Amino acid sequence: MFRTEADKAIRDIASRIVGVEVVELNVQPEHVHMVIIMPPRYAPAKVVEILKSQSAKVIRSKITWLDKLYYDTGSLWSVGYFISTVGIDEERIRKYVKYQQKQDSEQAPLEL
């Protein structure tokens, strides 16, 4: 349920930002991978800020038990993120994002 709501929220919010398009989106239990197209007039950090803050509000309104889990904060996502530009090898990056869950599940489990 969380993954579905997060996917819908992120795509919907991105569609409301003029010129921003989500090309690939893969929501995992502990992280999100996405490829988005945005005009150069936008600061990537600002787009991430909008996507994270607005999607947190939408998701928390639909999945009410998250309010109990994060009762002392209005947030949902962690503070950090990673941004990189995609150039020559866009297709490879898109496949990586699309199949990230499959790649992660095939790795040997880490034992501590």
Q: Is residue 15 part of a domain?
A: yes
Split into its structural domains, the chain has a count of: 1
69/74 Cα distance (integer angstroms): 11
Phi, psi of 8 (to 5 degrees): -60, -45
Show the tokens assigned to 14: 């991105």
**Does a structural domain hold residue 111?**
no
**Concatenated DSSP letters for 45-96?**
HHHHHHHHHHHHHHHHHHSTHHHHHTTT-S--S-S--------TTHHHHHHH
In a domain, residue 80? The reply is yes
pTM above 0.85, yes or no: no
What does each of the 112 residues of the chain score in pLDDT, given as a tens digit?
A: 788 888 999 999 999 999 999 999 998 877 888 989 899 899 999 999 999 999 988 988 888 888 777 777 767 888 888 887 777 677 788 787 788 766 555 554 545 4
Domain holding 57, by residue range, is 2-105
